[in-house]
Structure 1
Amino acid sequence: MTRLKDVKVVIADDEKLMAKELQSLLLEIYPDLCIIGVAHDGEAAIHLVKTYRPDIAFLDIQMPGMTGLEVAKKLIDCEEPPAVVFATAYDEYALKAFSVNAMDYILKPYDEIDIERVMGKFEKMLTRSTVKPKSSGNKEVSKSCAVRKFSVEKGDRMEIIDSDKIEIVYAKDRLVYIKTLDGENYRTKLTLQDFESKLPSDRFFRCHRNFVVNVNQIKEIATWFNKGYLLILKKTGTGKSTEVPVGRAYAAKLKEYIEL
């Protein structure tokens, strides 16, 4: 959490209650954040960003007058543009977020898991850099920093698992497990957020609050309820295919790995 100490945040939402809810939730989870301003229209948001140069700007997509997307396009021209996180009640609008180099998006009503996901991504970006973000945060993260091997307890020894041999990492009953390509399951002390930040980001995708998947193992994608997807993985050593859901909040991110 120390990497987020004094990180400056701007919030823009024409719905004052929603802006207040997001502000309260951010500070509840990350009390060291510095909320430097809350705007209720696009022009005010741009003024706040140009005046205070925040690290992150949470922008409501659907604002009257100037939408969050239009605000983001203008912020790109700033000398030190913030990382942009869009807020929307409709995930279909969020697909447009990446056309303006947004770091990510969150859905209304706000969810603690969503907040932790985007702030975890921003913290990872800071950890791998010695400076503040100079762009909207959509640059590819250095792959050389990723952890390639993990140790797990097996009896009185530590077994080493190569990241290439991991099929999925999943949470169940408040515990986290690694499932390998040969069908073995290993309990681990790391959290899913730890794996999301440590695994090579070009090959592993946090597709659900309870799953991180090796994208090289995806064989098929099926449509799922609530505009989501179901990933059907290749058959492993067990001869069975694993099915992994893609959470509604993660669906747009899937397009960074697979052309849908």
Structure 2
Amino acid sequence: MIVDDEPLARERLLRLLQAEDSVTQCVTAANGEEALRKQLDDPVDLVLLDIRMPGLSGLELAAEWVQQAHPPAIVFCTAYDDYALEAFQVQAVSYLMKPVKSADLHQVLGQASRLNRAQLSAMSGADAGPVIALQTGRGKERIPLNDVFCFRADQKYVVALCRQGERLCDLSLKQLEERFPEQLIRVHRTTLVPKSRLEKLTRDAQGSIWLSLRGMTGPVAVSRRFARELRPLFQDSPDWSE
């Protein structure tokens, strides 16, 4: 479903969708109230949703759908980039900037078509674990925290290394620690890792300490300060006496 109060925007998205083999049917709605009625009468799998609309806004509409047992996947399409945080707070799958490019739309549809039951559960906020909004070349993307290998501070940026590749994070390492205290642990002044990724702690002949992470090629460096906090998490951790 395309939901946008601008007729030209709806028509453009409709033309782009008609070129996609994965789309079997598409309906349109000019406002939030019409979209609610159509979704109730004939539920759709994916909604391309404008944010600024008269009456019920896109964010309010998404918040309504999130409460349903089987909500549609939501992709926000907007000309404004200052709604990203609010968009991901209502479980949006992605966030596309207008004018939407066919290549970006194709990528989002491919992502949606590969969703499994666990990912669909994540959209509805049910038993999926925390998610985080990370910056990609085409906007922001909601990624499960379990997909992240580590966060690294690189000068004034924080980079997330995850299964989907490298992503930029708007939060500082300190903000990440405060937001996910149960999931993340500091291993270096510049590095945070998910506790679920911890695999092996070793020290080389030069005395440097390294942490192996599940699913990640190559270890990450651990500072001596944080090694003391890490060692109790490993049953087979060697007894390193200073």
Which structure's CA Rg is the greater one? 2
Partner of 1:202: 148
Matched, 1:221 2:139: no
Secondary structure of the 1:91 match is: coil
Q: Does 1:24 align with 2:15?
A: yes
Aligned to 2:42: 52
- Look up the equivalent residue of 1:13 and give its one-letter code: D
Give the number of equivalent residue pairs.
155
Q: Which one-letter code corresponds to 1:97 in the other structure?
A: A
Task: Render the CA deviation track for 1:119-142: whole Å, top value 9, x for unaligned.
Answer: 23213323xx49x93563677989
Cα deviation 1:138-183 (Å, max 9, x = unaligned): 77989xxxxxxxxxxxxxxxxxxxxxxxxxxxxxxxxxxxxxxxxx
Measured at CA, do residues 19 and 86 of structure 1 come closer, stay the same or move farther in structure 2, by a change above 3 Å?
A: same
CA distance in 1, matches of 2:81, 2:148: 23
- Determine the structure 1 residue equivalent to 2:23: 33
One-letter identity of the residue aligned with 2:84: A
- How big is each residue's C-alpha offset from its partner over 1:62-118, in whole Å with a ceiling of 9 and x where there is no partner? 011110001111112223110111111011122210111111111101112321332
User: Separation in 1 of the partners of 2:125 and 2:171?
Assistant: 11
Aligned to 1:171: none
Q: Distance in 1 between matches of 2:171 and 2:124?
A: 14
Unaligned runs of 5+ in 2: 130-142, 161-165, 177-242
Distance 2:172 2:106 in 1: 21
Q: In structure 2, the residue corresponding to 1:23 is in which secondary structure?
A: helix
Residue 83 of structure 1 contacts residue 103 of structure 1 at CA under 8 Å; is this kept in 2? yes
Instruction: Give the structure-1-normalised TM-score.
Output: 0.50
Q: Give 5+ residue unaligned stretches, structure 1.
A: 1-9, 143-196, 204-214, 223-230, 234-245
Q: 2:64 aligns with which of 58, 61, 74?
A: 74
Q: Give me the identity figure in percent.
A: 30
Which structure would you say has the larger RCO, counting Cα contacts within 8 Å and 6 or more residues apart? 1
Question: What SS does structure 1 have at the residue aligned with 2:60?
Answer: helix
**Cα separation, partners in 2 of 1:219 and 1:112, compared to 1, 3 Å:** same
Q: Distance in 1 between matches of 2:104 and 2:171?
A: 18
- Equivalent AA in structure 2 for residue 26 of structure 1: L
Aligned letter for 2:80? Y
TM-score, L = length of structure 2: 0.53
